[in-house]
Structure 1
């Protein structure tokens, strides 16, 4: 050991230094200690890298004698150049144990130079067979996406081999992977880790979702039968098939398409079943079935496709979305709106026809309303039958019964209740009607056209009438005074409010000029407001008023004849409910018609005035005005 000068320091322990033990030219990797050989329990085997082919490739160090020997001649010392002994194999290089370190001092100087150098300044007592050289930490090279894909595919191949060995097929492994208990009370046989992994995947709590896997399977080139397949047309035709079990389809893409089609068809069929029933919890929805006993004209007038669409969206959102997607034309994947053929009415008609196909008593979405419209337009009965077979309208017989029920019950009941309060909220207008009809004569061989004549009437609702406006006693008292007997043209001229008339005419002229000159268009709204306010507007109809009308049953009488008009009035009074009200002595009733009807009515009153009949028979409780 070399002696070092110290500066008043404590003497150090004796360590092996570089001058005593030479170091290797390159850093050694991790040391591996091979198992001891039974033949030489007190020796250690050193394997040299470059001497594997030589007969003296293995050398034995006898620690008890402190010399290097060969297996066949333990007493013979084999001397080798130091260069060959220093090239150790990393897999066979080892250190001596503690029980042999004490004999290192007895080794010859020649052999001491052949031993590998330990860590610098390491005490001999700390040398152990578990000690290894530290490996320097190196930063891993970042892999490219292609390299990472190759590594992952290699791992997939290894895992698939193991899966196929354990489960025979990949399908059996996937079936067991997504196995679950059928009922809640059954025992779950899966391990906790198995349940957690599958649960996270199915609930979308992973980066890769279920849809990604389905798309990969559907778009895989081997999921579709190729052109080389013998039954390629038959296999591809099974896609989106609603018949048969998708399990019987071999290829993945047709099987998935068939399964999805059957799933969507079942959901649409269930939605149609839902629409055949009423929802009592949501009165704002359109009722599926409208009872004819409770049907009113307000229900007919309040029909709107928007309300039906809102009902479909609320009760069956999938069915509505599907039909909305199918009804709208598309260009490059974007729906195109049609101004004169909106999508909503197409959806209502399509869904209504299918719902009526499930249950013919469903009439609330469209059939009863469209049937009343066809009846009012006097459409031929054959067209009604065709539309009824298509599921678009209710049968003509049902529509006629509904109209008669609304007329006889609803309108008559309201008229009786109003008469009890000495109120009148209804009037009707008469008019003649004609129609050419073909009549067969001579046993059905000859066809002759004849004209059928009759009288039609329309009931009109009255609004904003002051109290006592229809008092019969007040009217008869004024008639008995005969104040109008002295009425002349001059008195009519003086009764006109000419100031309001001149102001209205001047405002009409200004309105015409403003609309004709583009520069003055901004004043158009101001002038329109002047028409709606005082003093121009004396008694203006409210903006939200909608006049309600109802056609009455037509008869075959002629209103221009005295007897015909008398029969017409009796018929229409009975339909409205005036005869059942019992207000002949208290209320005044209003009728109107064209000039010929008005003149016939005056003649009828003149002929019946001298009689001793009641007010209704003599028409004293009615007032007639000509049409404007």
Structure 2
């Protein structure tokens, strides 16, 4: 029998001739034999296949094999076979089962890829941005060093792309502080460009480049169990915004509109020291002080030019474009190095802000109509009773400012005049009119509305009186209408209420605000005639809220104030919470019993209390008797207010009322109007403001400025009131005709 020789088939991809294929002679077995050897070789394992690749295919090492496997022919002819090309493409494109992510993890986590500590040069090469990759022998540090340089190059490219000027017209990143006319179409900063929020900038940077945002988040965001958390104090997104903005300025000095320019203007407004501005400018956090000043000058000049254009157009139509709010300003300039002619100086002046008049009827500021009303002298017939009867208690919200309206304001240049002096006020008004672009020859029939504090109002009225005989209408200020500003009106009302209800500093009267302030550890005003507005308003508001809650406790039948929350929590558990209509009905009862004129009369007379209806009658309670043997409570000493008057008030014989209750009712009623006014002003409810001012004029006897405010606000704002109230709003209350309907004592009864 002839022996049969079967050559071994070369593995795929092997080079012909690299090694000789062994020939294995196979001798046929006789057919008479009962067994026959298998012709197919046994299946090789993966590890045997790898060994064949490394030993039988002619590669010197694994590196040569991988270099050949992932060969990039570039622009030359591709020497690879179609199967070779398809296999590599499937792996690199993620079409195979084993993907690149699996391979990188195996290489990075392989124990042989990490250098030992004795090879310090290899250990320190991990994540190195400078060590040549050819000098890094181990796979793990080489892989990290390559990734570091790749990420660095990508960050450089992306930061440059963000810092580059965008074609988006809404982008403010490259706004200019001023224009030198060397570049056409340069966008100059406006006031709208200075408005920003940290959250808005964070969203903008995140949407612009998520990769950069992720890197900066890794720098500063804390993590808990691998998840990013946001802290309440110093949230990381604010730090990211503060870091990315200097990065952009470092690459492009004109990319300062996002954060650096607004912060530069903020430092100017805060009067930061020049060295502070320089340091932050060097850090890239803000623009230079010169750039901030140029931006302010450009924005002010542009807005002032727009104001003059509007004034010119309004004058042609015979209308008023804006009103003015003036106030005095002071700045102390101390001398740190004294010398001849150098001394501390208090710089004074007058500032003005123009407020654009919107939603006004045509002819609302017509001077002829105003003079015609003045000539009628109808104000002489106005009394406190007229004002009280004209109060619109329900108020139907018919005179509310449009909630979507944003009133534009524009400050003009501050001058160095003293507004409280007659001549200084005259020069002040003329200067502000000139800056606003008012033409004196075309405004004889246009009213000019000026607002300020009480001193400014008094000076303007005195100025008009002195110049009444001047034939020139403009120079006599005949068309100037002066009204007190609302904030000053609130302050005057607050001072009046504090003077009536605080009482002596060590008062034992439970209704006095001094006793409540001591119990709440709140500061008591030193001068009750001129209180510090914000601390006093916060203190009185807190006391008023506490007393109103106590009244609600009585209405709801709850034993103590601490149980109010528990009471409503129990109602919520059984799904029996009162409806809004029920709460409003309770509120009406509360007002009638504890914050009305009827309740005040009941507290002063037992007869009136007995004859009152069940709805408005104050429930009788047992008087509280303290422990007579207990020592009196310690009251912290406080400076006595000026002009305090007698500390004790002795009731008239036969008085059977409750003075403590009456004082409490008066405080709830009077300060309740102040609280309502405090809500009505920011809500733009002009009608409600007018009604509260009428109540204050009739009840509390505020100074003349509130009466003037009633007249002039009617002329210029409330032209849509009912016709029967037309004559009442158009004139003010004469000081001699104002009567006090109620006067709280605020003292301890003896």
Query: If the TM-score is normalised by the length of the shorter chain, which range does it land in?
Result: 0.5 to 0.7
Measured against aligned partners, the alpha-carbon deviations of 1:158-191 in whole angstroms (never above 9, x if no partner) come to 211235x33x2322322232222435xx543332
Is this contact kept in 2: 1:33–1:94, CA < 8 A?
no
Contact 1:285 1:307 in 2 (8 A): no
Answering whether residue 17 of structure 2 is matched by residue 34 of structure 1, we say no
Counterpart in 2 of 1:203?
A: 93
1:344 aligns with 2:237: yes
Shift of 1:440: 4.1
CA distance in 1, matches of 2:55, 2:226: 44
| Structure 1 gaps, min length 5 | 1-31, 37-89, 96-115, 119-131, 504-534
Structure 1, residues 213-271: CA drift from partner, whole Å, max 9, x if none? 11211112222220233xx1x32222222224333322221221111111112211222
* 8 Å Cα contact 1:595/1:626 also seen in 2: yes
Instruction: For 1:380 and 1:553, locate their aligned partners in 2 and report how far apart those are by CA, in whole Å.
Output: 23
What's the Cα RMSD here? 3.4
**Secondary structure of the structure 2 residue equivalent to 1:279:** coil
Aligned to 2:145: 258
Instruction: Check if 1:377 corresponds to 2:287.
Output: no
Say if 2:335 and 2:342, in contact at 8 Å, map to a contact too.
Answer: yes
Whether the 8 Å CA contact 2:308–2:438 is kept in 1: the answer is no
Structure 1 residues 579, 546: closer, same or farther in 2, change over 3 A? closer
Aligned runs of 1:76-115 on 2, under 5 Å?
93-95=29-31
Please give the residue correspondences for 1:445-456 in structure 2 after superposition, counting only pairs within 5 Å.
449-456=344-351
Instruction: Check the 8 A contact 1:588/1:621 in 2, yes or no.
Output: yes
Partners of 1:357 and 1:581 in 2: how far apart?
52
Paired with 1:425 and 1:626, the residues of 2 have a C-alpha distance of 20
Q: Which residue of 2 aligns with 1:402?
A: 295
Any stretches of 5+ residues in structure 2 without a counterpart? 6-25, 180-187, 487-750
* Alpha-carbon distance in 1 for matches of 2:441, 2:310: 10
**Equivalent residue number for residue 572 of structure 1:** 432
Among 221, 224, 237, the residue aligned to 1:331: 224
How far apart are the structure 2 equivalents of 1:428 and 1:375? 25
Q: Could you tell me how far apart the structure 1 residues matched to 2:65 and 2:304 are?
A: 73
Question: In the alignment, does 2:161 pair up with 1:274?
Answer: yes
Q: How far is 1:497 from its partner?
A: 5.9
Match of 1:213 among 103, 124, 129: 103
Task: Name the residue aligned to 1:606.
Answer: 465
Q: 1:134 to 1:258 in 2, by over 3 A?
A: closer
Cα deviation digits, residues 122-151 of structure 1 (max 9, x gap): xxxxxxxxxx979799xx9xx9xxxx9xx3
1:91 CA drift (Å): 5.8
Q: Distance in 2 between matches of 1:172 and 1:410?
A: 73
Hey, what's the Cα distance between the residues in 1 that align with 2:233 and 2:482? Answer: 43
Contact 1:440 1:448 in 2 (8 A): no
- 8 Å contact from structure 1 (residues 323, 347) kept in 2: yes
Provide, for residues 454-476 of structure 1, a one-character-per-residue CA deviation record: whole Å limited to 9, x for no partner: 22233334332223223344334
Q: CA deviation at 1:586?
A: 5.0
- In the TM superposition, residue 572 of structure 1 has moved relative to its aligned partner by 3.0
Deviation at 1:596, TM superposition (A): 0.7
Q: Does the 8 Å CA contact 1:285/1:308 hold for their aligned counterparts?
A: no
1:401-425 Cα offsets, whole Å, 9 max, x none, are 2222222222332442353143544
SS of the aligned residue for 2:438 comes to helix
Say if 1:618 and 1:359 are closer, same or farther in 2 by CA, change over 3 A: farther
Q: CA deviation at 1:195?
A: 1.6
Deviation at 1:599, TM superposition (A): 1.0
> Who is 2:206 aligned against?
313
Structure 1: distance between partners of 2:428 and 2:135 = 74
Rounded to whole Å, the distance in 1 between the matches of 2:413 and 2:217 is: 40
Aligned to 1:474: 369
Count of aligned pairs = 454
The structure, 1 or 2, with the larger RCO (C-alpha pairs under 8 Å, 6+ apart) is: 2
Q: Secondary structure at the match of 2:351?
A: strand
Equivalent residue for 1:249? Answer: 136
Cα separation, partners in 2 of 1:578 and 1:262, compared to 1, 3 Å: same
Shift of 1:573: 3.1
Change (3 A) 1:135 1:350: closer
Between structure 1 and structure 2, the one with the greater Rg is 1
TM value normalised by structure 1: 0.65
CA distance in 2, matches of 1:556, 1:610: 28
Contact 1:313 1:320 in 2 (8 A): yes
Aligned to 2:69: 177
Mapped partners of 2:463, 2:390: distance in 1: 36
- Distance in 2 between the 1:135 and 1:269 partners? 65
* Candidates 52, 60, 71, aligned match of 1:158: 52
Q: Is the Cα contact below 8 Å between 2:311 and 2:437 reproduced in 1? A: no
- CA 1:597–1:381 in 2, change beyond 3 Å: closer, same or farther? farther
| Structure 2 Cα separation of the partners of residues 134 and 318 of structure 1 | 64
Give distance in 2, aligned partners of 1:244 and 1:264.
16
From the superposition, tell whether residues 135 and 189 of structure 1 become closer, same or farther in structure 2 (CA, over 3 Å): closer
**Could you list the per-position Cα deviations for residues 520-551 of structure 1 after superposition, in whole angstroms to 9, with x for gaps in the alignment?**
xxxxxxxxxxxxxxx43231233334444444
Equivalence for 1:71: none
Residue 626, structure 1, aligned to residue 507, structure 2: no
Q: Is the 8 A contact 1:460 1:547 kept in 2?
A: yes
Equivalent in the alignment of 2:675:
none
| Larger CA deviation: 217-226 vs 384-393 | 384-393
Aligned-pair CA distance for 1:320? 1.8
User: Distance between the aligned counterparts of 2:263 and 2:215, measured in 1?
Assistant: 24
Distance 2:224 2:152 in 1: 26
